[in-house]
Chain A
Amino acid sequence: MASRISLKPSSGNNKGANGAAERSTVQVLKEWSAWSLEKSKVIAHYGFIPLIIVIGMNSEPKPQLYQLLSPI
């Protein structure tokens, strides 16, 4: 344990291959996965219903476009 006394990494993540000064690959991976999770949540939020409508309008028998809006 004597060699570990100096320089505790501030982020608290000791598993990276690099030392405390650079961001380790695991940290970069975590940041990317958090970012992609955020973006995919936004995409799912705005895109899910349009996706269902596109899939439905292209299924057989193809409905007409005006049927989307008219109450008949």
Chain B
Amino acid sequence: MAGFPPPGATILGDAAAGKKIDEVGKKKVDYFNLPCPIPFEELQREAIMSLKPELFEGMRFDFTKGLNPKFSLSHSVFMGPMELPSQGAETLKIPTAHYEFGANFIDPKLMLIGRVLTDGRLTARVKCDLTDDLSLKANAQLSNEPNMSHGMVNFDYKGKDYRTQLQLGDGSLFGASYIQSITPHLSMGGEVFWAGQHLKSGVGYAARYENDKMVATGQVASTGMVAMSYVQKVSEKVSLATDFMYNYLSRDVTASVGYDYILRQARLRGKLDSNGCASAFLEERLNMGLNFVLSAEIDHKKSDYKFGFGLTVG
């Protein structure tokens, strides 16, 4: 850069002078080339991954067998108490055991995941890229009992620096969401939904600010929900997360703090809640393809203690 004459000195023009200011001076944000934002439903994904692991109670064994790089079958056995919704303060638990068979086909353009339980319930997920920007997602839970089946279809369109989604569900559920990148670090969006069967409708807004070390999100909805989350990456292996949820209609508050240790052979996530609930989840890699899982959740307010262990193969 030393050999160049100072900007404005030549007759050659504004274009050259402008480019030099861009290179030499501070980095100028190019507002026409913003990155594509995260999809609206995944706005809080770092916080959800750190604070809400899949806690379970009982014994779990998962075996995944790959026949192909794209096609695999999975067998899963679960034995343990299942919680029933109960009106009183006591938790009602019934010991159950089930076997679940699943088939996955994962292709860059088409993804099909199906799981069926011993009582006949089917969970199906389909994701198909219709074009480069438009993709179709569908998921359904079908069961043999009448009126217990649900399905939902999403159409996602990805623009240059925005994403939109249209959602159609059974029971005349309609939803639409839009999220836009405002700066390279900040993105904001909104969503609308209308539930025909319950005659409810709502509007929500969300914002997400992220940089290399942290992610902060905030969400407000007309259903009364206010949710904020903050995740800080303290080092390569450790991140801390905190979450705050407030319902201004029912005056319900929940705040939680948690940590997420991603080590070479293990992943440990722990959380402490304002409802008096402490939980931890450990996934340890014993060998190539063999993972050992431990889950614990202690609810002091309800005196409910849940411990689970499991093995994941493949």
- Of the candidates B103, B112, B122, the one having the most CB atoms from chain A within 10 angstroms of its own CB is B103
| Binary B-proximity of A9-31 (CB < 8 A = 1, otherwise 0) | 00000000000000000000000
Q: How far is the CB of A72 from chain B (nearest CB, A)?
A: 8
| Binary B-proximity of A30-72 (CB < 8 A = 1, otherwise 0) | 0000000000010011001101110111011101000110010
Docked complex: B60-94 residues within 8 A CB-CB of A: 63, 65, 67-68, 70-71, 73
- Distance between Cα atoms of A68 and B73 in the complex (Å): 8
B114-A48 in contact (CB<8A): yes
Q: Which residues of B contact A61 (CB under 8 A)?
A: 68
- Of the candidates B107, B112, B113, B149, the one having the most CB atoms from chain A within 10 angstroms of its own CB is B112
Given contacts A44-B140, A56-B103, A56-B105, contact A49 B71 (CB under 8 A): no
Question: Chain A: interface residue count, which band?
Answer: 10 to 19
Interchain pairs with CB closer than 8 A, number: 54
A41-B104 in contact (CB<8A): no
A45-B142 in contact (CB<8A): yes
B75 nearest in chain A by CB position = A71
Question: Chain B: interface residue count, which band?
Answer: 20 to 34
State whether the Cβ of B116 lies closer than 8 Å to any Cβ in chain A: yes
Q: How far is the CB of B236 from chain A (nearest CB, A)?
A: 37
- Distance between Cα atoms of A18 and B104 in the complex (Å): 50
Docked complex: B109-153 residues within 8 A CB-CB of A: 112-114, 116, 120, 122, 124, 140, 142, 144, 149
- Of the candidates B67, B107, B140, B149, the one having the most CB atoms from chain A within 10 angstroms of its own CB is B67
Q: How far is the CB of B136 from chain A (nearest CB, A)?
A: 15
State whether the Cβ of B209 lies closer than 8 Å to any Cβ in chain A: no
- Distance between Cα atoms of A25 and B53 in the complex (Å): 52
- Of the candidates A48, A67, A68, A71, the one having the most CB atoms from chain B within 10 angstroms of its own CB is A48
4 shortest interchain CB distances as A-B pairs: A56-B71, A63-B67, A52-B103, A45-B142
Chain A interface residues (CB < 8 Å from chain B): 41, 44-45, 48-49, 51-53, 55-57, 59-61, 63, 67-68, 71
